[in-house]
Amino acid sequence: MAFKVFVDGQEGTTGLRLLDYLTLRDDIELLRIDDAKRKDRKERSRFLNAADVAFLCLPDDASREAVSLVENPDTCVIDASTAFRTDPNWTYGLPELAAGQREKIRASKRISNPGCHASAFVLLVRPLIDAGLLPPSHPLSAFSLTGYSGGGKRMIAEYEGTSDPRLASPRPYALGLMHKHLPEMRAQTGLELAPVFTPVVGPFLKGLSVQIPLQLATLAGVDAAAVHAAYTRHYAGERFIRVLPLDDESNLDAGFLDVQGCNDTNRVDLMICGNAERLLLVARLDNLGKGAAGAAIQSMNVHLGCDEGSGLNLD
């Protein structure tokens, strides 16, 4: 019997990408709301409660409203918004987070899908905290370069509907240093201080890389080999996490990093760059793949007990 799946927000950037994944599956029965009624509370409620899995691809307030409409105890909600990512009653939808996370996703009916920048940041930092290489009190900064689809329909229209030369260059944003992913970056790593996080959006659709600098003089016993060993251990057997070999320039283009290098996959590449004094930890992913819709499908697969890679592209 096919699993019944509903996407609330089916016309948005994440919703459309989810539909791309779901329509290829013959173990899924897609519940399609009539377009004219997709914002009708009563009709959404009917669909939400008929679903085994309901994906919410909505702004935060609309997500909160959708959750309040769910009365069926068997409906599993997977929310793509920021609304519930640090809520203790919800499970963070990152199976690779730590031992036991898959079991939590399997058992939970409320799964929050990680933010795109946060996914990359957490995947870089959590193994180092767990391995005792990074004290939770260590102050970190992080830089992210992302494609404009991360800003949803409005930002896509802004970039694709203009010849404004200001949009032709990368644009740093969230300069008040209060980006909305900071709470989950702290909560899912155990860091005491939120990082100084500076995202930059560039004139390309999708692809993202987060980079975290480390001054090794401030961290006793840490070097590239120790970080690499911690990642290799933490992500052993994880099919969507690729820990790249140390000192291997073959993943760079003549010394440059291609932040679009994981596009159209659910893969995350982790790289350790630098030298004996300073390291740069790099995570690269598709912000619409592992950073949004791919991660949501992966969590659904884990929750339903399907093959975790079902419908997802690794290469």
Ligand X SMILES: CC(=O)N[C@@H](CCC(=O)OP(=O)(O)O)C(=O)O
Ligand Y SMILES: NC(=O)C1=CN([C@@H]2O[C@H](COP(=O)(O)OP(=O)(O)OC[C@H]3O[C@@H](n4cnc5c(N)ncnc54)[C@H](OP(=O)(O)O)[C@@H]3O)[C@@H](O)[C@H]2O)C=CC1
Angle at alpha carbon of residue 305, lines to 303 and 306, rounded to 5°: 110
Question: Residue 57 binds which one of ligand Y, ligand X, none, with CB within 5 to 8 A depending on kind?
Answer: ligand Y
Q: How far is CA 58 from CA 69, 122, 180, in A?
A: 14, 23, 15
Instruction: Write down the least CB distance from residue 33 to ligand Y, Å.
Output: 9
Decide if residue 208 touches ligand Y (CB under 6 A): no
Distance CA 131, CA 127 (A): 6
Residues 254-313 that bind ligand Y (CB under 6 A): 287-288, 291-292
Q: What are phi and psi of 285, to 5 degrees?
A: -155, 170
Distance CA 174, CA 198 (A): 7
Q: Position of tokens 């052993």?
A: 236
Q: Which of 28, 54, 67, 80 binds ligand Y (CB under 6 A)?
A: 80
Decide if residue 199 touches ligand X (CB under 6 A): yes
Nearest CA-CA partner of 283 in 222, 212, 190, 196: 212
- Is 116 designated active site? yes
In the complex, residue closest to ligand Y by CB: 12
Instruction: Write down the least CB distance from residue 201 to ligand X, Å.
Output: 4
Angle at alpha carbon of residue 282, lines to 153 and 159, rounded to 5°: 20
Decide if residue 62 touches ligand Y (CB under 6 A): yes
The DSSP bridge partners found for residue 172 are 200
Q: What are phi and psi of 152, to 5 degrees?
A: 75, -170
Closest CB to ligand X among 32 and 171? 171
Decide if residue 146 touches ligand X (CB under 6 A): yes
The DSSP bridge partners found for residue 253 are 256
Distance CA 42, CA 33 (A): 11
Decide if residue 188 touches ligand Y (CB under 6 A): no
Q: Which of 14, 112, 209, 301 binds ligand Y (CB under 6 A)?
A: 14
Q: Copy the structure tokens of residue 171.
A: 């644009």
Using CB under 6 A, count the residues that bind ligand Y: 27
| Contact window for ligand X (CB under 6 A) among 25-33, 41-49, 115-123, 190-198 | 115-123
Instruction: Give one DSSP letter per residue of 96-119, joined into a string.
Output: TSSTTHHHHHHH-SEEEPPPHHHH
In contact, 31 and 51? CB cutoff 8 Å: yes
Closest CB to ligand Y among 82 and 299? 82
Question: Residue 199 binds which one of ligand Y, ligand X, none, with CB within 5 to 8 A depending on kind?
Answer: ligand X
Decide if residue 15 touches ligand X (CB under 6 A): no
Decide if residue 195 touches ligand Y (CB under 6 A): no
Question: Residue 11 binds which one of ligand Y, ligand X, none, with CB within 5 to 8 A depending on kind?
Answer: ligand Y
Q: Copy the structure tokens of residue 183.
A: 């709470």
Q: Copy the structure tokens of residue 115.
A: 């933010």
Binding site for ligand Y (CB under 6 A): 8-9, 11-15, 38-39, 57-60, 62, 80-82, 115-116, 149-150, 152-153, 287-288, 291-292
Binding site for ligand X (CB under 6 A): 80-82, 115-117, 146, 148, 150-151, 155, 180-181, 199, 201, 291
Write out the catalytic residue numbers: 116
